[in-house]
């Protein structure tokens, strides 16, 4: 009886070792998309009132966890019974990411009319602020859903030949690390200024070391957020372009003499603007008919 119990423990230990080793490999393969996920979500999680940053980020994090809970079982089922459907879902997600990246570029050069209007915070009611937060959180969760699909599929691809229990354990670990790691770092970024103010108020001395470090963090935050906005847009186009290049044979062999990262960016940008033009045309026709 005892020997049987210890044999089970040995099997569990061996399984955990396999999961740990495979998780390390899968995490390395998803490192690029995790970096893109960080840039995109840091940009989306910024721009809120200081005291609302963490509650909003927590709402996005819960949405991200729910995304993983929805995606994981569907990914395992599709991989087992309809492997071609995984590629279709991935490409459709790529179109959405490319569209969002192209829309950001378009709005930078051709801003909406309301972008020119300067609205004082005092003029915005609490209900309007909450509605703006809700809209931005929803947008962040939708984008996270697409990026989560990419992370799960890449992780699944790295262990596709392993037994089902290894696949489930490894991909689940990578998905959990993606959410905790990415949003943990995002939380640190958006609270840089708060940390800086605490350092400045740490003592009553003027121009102390803590003051200098605090001012550095306070002054750095707007620049970091602005940089992440640009990086996030580029990331959207690179991720989408990578999806098209790796899953559509025509794009895979397009421009063979051009560096891969540049090809992915060009393809993501081109498909993004095509999707944007089609959306704008549809919107124009739809509003005309209504």
pLDDT, residue 5, reads: 38
117-147 pLDDT per residue, tens: 444 444 566 677 677 778 888 888 888 887 7
| All residues at 6 or more sequence positions from 248 whose CB lies less than 8 Å from its CB, including other chains | 91
For residue 176 the two structure tokens come to 């959990």
240: its two tokens: 């989408």
Quick: pLDDT tens for 200-211: 887 777 778 888
Residue 63 and residue 50: Cα distance in Å, rounded? 21
- Give me the chain's average pLDDT, please: 75
Number of domains in the chain: 1
Token pair 């549809």 in the structure block, residue: 282
Banded pLDDT at 39 (limits 50, 70, 90): low
Look at residue 29 in the predicted model and tell me its pLDDT. Answer: 46
Q: Which domain holds residue 249?
A: 2-289
- Collapsing DSSP to helix, strand or coil, 162 comes out as coil
Closest C-alpha among 39, 42, 41, 35 to residue 189: 42
Please tell me which residue, 259 or 189, carries the higher pLDDT value.
Answer: 259
Measured distance CA(265)–CA(257) in Å, rounded:
15
Q: Is the pLDDT of residue 44 over 70?
A: no
Q: pLDDT grade, residue 272 (50/70/90)?
A: very high
Dihedral angle over CA of 216, 220, 221, 224, nearest 10: -150
Which carries the bigger pLDDT value, residue 8 or residue 48?
Answer: 48
pLDDT at 247 over 50: yes
Identify the weakest region by mean pLDDT among 24-33, 38-47, 224-233: 24-33
Per-residue confidence at 278, pLDDT binned at 50, 70, 90? very high
Q: What is the pTM of this model?
A: 0.68
pLDDT digits (tens, 9 = 90+) for 66-114: 998 998 898 888 877 887 887 787 788 888 888 988 988 998 888 665 4
Locus of tokens 């989306």: 44
65-90 burial code (b ≥16 CB/10 A, e <16): bebbeebbeebbebbeeeeeebeebb
Mean pLDDT, residues 11-16 taken together: 41
Give me the pLDDT at residue 36, please. 57
| CA distance from start to end of the chain | 75
Pick from 5, 19, 16, 2: which is nearest to 158 by CA?
Answer: 19
- Check residue 270 and give its pLDDT: 95
Between 25 and 249, the higher pLDDT residue: 249
**How many CA atoms within 13 Å lie on the side-chain side of 270?**
11
Going by C-alpha positions, the residue among 136, 129, 168 that lies closest to residue 51 is 129
């Amino acid at each position: 009886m005892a020997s049987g119990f210890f044999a089970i423990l040995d099997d569990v230990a061996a399984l955990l070792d396999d999961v740990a080793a495979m998780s390390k490999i899968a995490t390395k393969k998803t490192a690029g998309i995790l970096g893109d996920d960080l840039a995109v979500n840091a940009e989306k999680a910024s721009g809120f009132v200081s005291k609302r940053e963490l509650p909003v980020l927590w709402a996005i994090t819960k949405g991200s966890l729910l995304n993983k809970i929805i995606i994981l079982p569907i990914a395992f089922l599709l991989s087992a019974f309809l492997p071609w459907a995984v590629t279709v879902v991935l490409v459709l997600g790529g179109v959405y990411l490319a569209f969002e990246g192209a829309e950001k570029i378009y709005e930078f050069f051709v801003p909406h009319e309301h972008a020119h209007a300067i609205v004082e915070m005092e003029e915005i009611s609490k209900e309007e602020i909450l509605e703006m937060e809700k809209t931005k959180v929803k947008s962040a969760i939708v984008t996270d859903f697409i990026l989560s699909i990419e992370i799960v599929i890449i992780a699944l691809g790295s262990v596709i030949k392993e037994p089902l229990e290894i696949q489930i354990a490894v991909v689940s670990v990578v998905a959990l690390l993606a959410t905790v790691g990415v949003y943990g770092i995002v939380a640190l970024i958006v609270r840089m200024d708060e940390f800086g103010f605490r350092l400045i108020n740490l003592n009553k001395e003027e121009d102390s070391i803590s003051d200098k470090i605090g001012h550095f963090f306070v002054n750095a935050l707007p620049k970091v957020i602005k940089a992440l906005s640009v990086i996030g847009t580029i990331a959207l186009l690179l991720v989408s372009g990578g999806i098209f290049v790796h899953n559509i044979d025509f794009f895979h062999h397009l421009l063979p003499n051009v560096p891969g990262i540049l090809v992915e960016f060009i393809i993501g940008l081109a498909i993004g603007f095509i999707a944007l033009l089609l959306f704008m045309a549809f919107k124009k026709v739809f509003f005309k008919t209504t």
